[in-house]
């Protein structure tokens, strides 16, 4: 799975962690590697080994100057490509420096994040072509959170359609009819021990990942059709968003038992002021963080500040915000790396099963020498979520085709790249 991740461009850190030319370097741990991010004098981002190849001195303490990061132990200096530009502590430095490099990974800056490719150079794909890659700060907003669990434990919650009507509701589910009232869309899947309405769910494996479409008949004779996306290897389209605002959660492994979540919002039009204020200061969609860290104030160490009085009276979970509610339930599923042999899956877990199979099959194929197609088809990533109401007499196949068209944005290609 680690090799599969290294075939894709992924966020390595926030752009604001290395805010300007010759700024202070930032520590980065990504896929179990200790790295250093910095910007050179021209503002180009670099991602290099955390330790100098001379005698292993930490590059974090280096001097960022004149288009390179200089180790303060003996003055060896490296540019963003890993080339040794100066080796001043030895008479053979001018000739020997050409034989020395530091491990460096390609990086670029987009949508408030520094993206990196950690795989083989001869397998490097084009940059991903999400619609929002070139959008400015008035159309994108991102915050980074430290999660203390395996990356996939966090991903699975985005494809768990039955949890929201319980975990995220403020209604008492013991009251008859509460499930239907709390979340009509999810009421299609759940009921008091029975399904409330029939629902058809289809899954398409695609180059970019997986498309999920749900078709639900409504009481007024119409049908509601919704589409969501899983983008390889670790991006989802789930999350709370406002009108005309799309969302994505990106879980990037730090190691086998922790990850960073980049909680991302974007829009084809500039955000309205209300959206900006809620995202930055509301502390609900983007929970408040401990100053100087990427840890949420409500975290595992303080039991996510669960309020048992609120739980008894109006909050089903007793935990304040939706993202923290999710975090509390995924960080400790049989520990930070869950033993899935212990679980008992049911019909409503089918989306989770499909995402698992998509990832596992891709990892197996790579082991057998078959490279993933998605990274080399960057335009295929230009899809997003969609939801629409259609006539009740439209066939399921026609409904699915209609919602597929809705997942394409104004700068997207005119087709979904399905395998």
- How far lies 290's CA from each of 45, 218, 284, 296, 297, in Å? 26, 44, 15, 6, 5
Report d(CA 356, CA 230) in Å as an integer.
Answer: 11
Interval 80-84 mean pLDDT: 98
pLDDT at 413 over 60: no
pLDDT at 36 over 60: yes
- The 3-state DSSP class for residue 247 equals strand
Per-residue pLDDT, 184: 43
Cβ neighbours of residue 218 closer than 8 Å, sequence gap 6 or more: 224, 389, 392
Report d(CA 181, CA 63) in Å as an integer.
Answer: 59
| Of 156, 154, 149, residue with least CA distance to 345 | 156
With beta carbons less than 8 A apart as the criterion, state whether 37 and 114 touch: yes
Write out the DSSP string of 160-221: -TTSHHHHT--S-TTSTTHHHHH-HHHHTT--SSS-SS--EEEEEEBSSEEEEEEEEE-TTS
CATH code at 140-406:
3.90.380
Query: Out of 244-258, 283-297, 330-344, 404-418, which region has the weakest mean confidence (pLDDT)?
Result: 404-418
Q: Residue 364's pLDDT band (boundaries 50, 70, 90)?
A: very high
Interval 133-144 mean pLDDT: 95
- The 3-state DSSP class for residue 294 equals coil
Report d(CA 28, CA 34) in Å as an integer.
Answer: 6
CB atoms within 10 A of CB 250: 22
Per-residue pLDDT, 164: 84
pLDDT tens for each residue of 163-189: 888 898 886 555 444 444 444 434 433
- Dihedral, 169, 172, 177, 181 alpha carbons, nearest 10: -30
| Of 157, 153, 139, 111, residue with least CA distance to 10 | 111
pLDDT at 306 over 80: yes
- The 3-state DSSP class for residue 368 equals coil
CATH code at 2-123:
2.102.10.10
Interval 284-306 mean pLDDT: 96
Interval 330-337 mean pLDDT: 90
105 beta partners: 47
% of the chain exceeding 90 in pLDDT: 71
C-alpha of 399 from chain center: 28
Per-residue pLDDT, 182: 44
Please provide residue 144's backbone torsions phi and psi, each rounded to the nearest 5 degrees.
Answer: -110, 135
Interval 280-286 mean pLDDT: 92
Q: What average pLDDT does the structure give for the chain?
A: 89
Residue of 405 and 147 predicted with greater confidence: 147
pLDDT at 419 over 80: no
Write out the DSSP string of 25-94: -EEEEETTEEEEEEE-TT--EEEEESB-TTT--BGGG-EE-SSSEE-TTT--EE-TTSBEEE-TTSTTHH
Q: Where are the domains of the chain?
A: 2-123, 140-406
Per-residue pLDDT, 410: 78
pLDDT at 193 over 80: no
Report d(CA 24, CA 156) in Å as an integer.
Answer: 36
Per-residue pLDDT, 411: 67
């Amino acid at each position: 799975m680690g090799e599969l991740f290294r075939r894709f461009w992924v966020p390595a850190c926030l752009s604001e962690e290395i805010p300007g030319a010759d700024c202070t370097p930032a520590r980065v741990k990504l896929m179990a590697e200790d790295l250093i991010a910095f910007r050179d004098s021209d503002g180009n981002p670099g991602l290099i080994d955390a330790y100098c190849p001379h005698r292993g001195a930490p590059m974090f303490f280096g001097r960022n100057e004149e288009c390179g990061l200089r180790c303060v132990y003996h003055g060896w200096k490296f540019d963003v490509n890993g080339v040794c530009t100066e080796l001043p502590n030895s008479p053979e430095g001018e000739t020997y420096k050409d034989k020395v490099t530091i491990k460096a990974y390609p990086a670029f800056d987009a949508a408030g994040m520094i993206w990196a490719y950690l795989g083989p150079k001869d397998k490097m794909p084009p940059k991903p072509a999400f619609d929002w890659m070139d959008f400015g700060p008035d159309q994108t907003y991102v915050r980074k959170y430290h999660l203390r669990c395996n990356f996939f434990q966090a991903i699975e919650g985005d494809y768990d359609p039955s949890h929201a009507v319980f975990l995220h509701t403020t209604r008492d589910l013991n009251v008859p009819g509460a499930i239907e009232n709390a979340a009509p869309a999810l009421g299609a899947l759940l009921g008091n021990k029975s399904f409330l309405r029939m629902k058809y769910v289809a899954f398409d494996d695609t180059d970019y990942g997986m498309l999920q479409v749900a078709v639900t008949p409504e009481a007024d004779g119409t049908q509601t059709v919704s589409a969501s996306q899983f983008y390889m290897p670790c991006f989802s389209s789930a999350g709370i968003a406002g009108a005309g605002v799309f969302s994505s959660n990106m879980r990037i492994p730090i190691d086998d038992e922790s990850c960073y979540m980049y909680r991302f919002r974007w829009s084809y039009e500039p955000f309205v002021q209300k959206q900006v204020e809620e995202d930055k200061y509301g502390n609900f969609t983007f929970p408040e963080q401990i100053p100087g860290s990427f840890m949420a104030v409500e975290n595992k160490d303080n039991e996510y500040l669960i309020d048992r009085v609120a739980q008894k009276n109006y909050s089903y979970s007793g935990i304040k915000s939706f993202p923290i509610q999710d975090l509390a339930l995924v960080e400790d599923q049989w520990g930070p790396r869950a033993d899935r042999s212990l679980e008992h899956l049911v019909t409503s877990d089918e989306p989770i099963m499909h995402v698992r199979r998509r990832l596992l099959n891709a990892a197996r194929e790579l082991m057998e020498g078959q490279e993933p197609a998605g990274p080399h088809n960057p335009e295929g990533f230009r899809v997003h979520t969609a939801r629409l109401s259609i006539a009740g007499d439209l066939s399921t196949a026609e409904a699915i085709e209609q919602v597929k068209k809705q997942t394409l944005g104004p700068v997207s290609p005119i087709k979904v790249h399905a395998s």
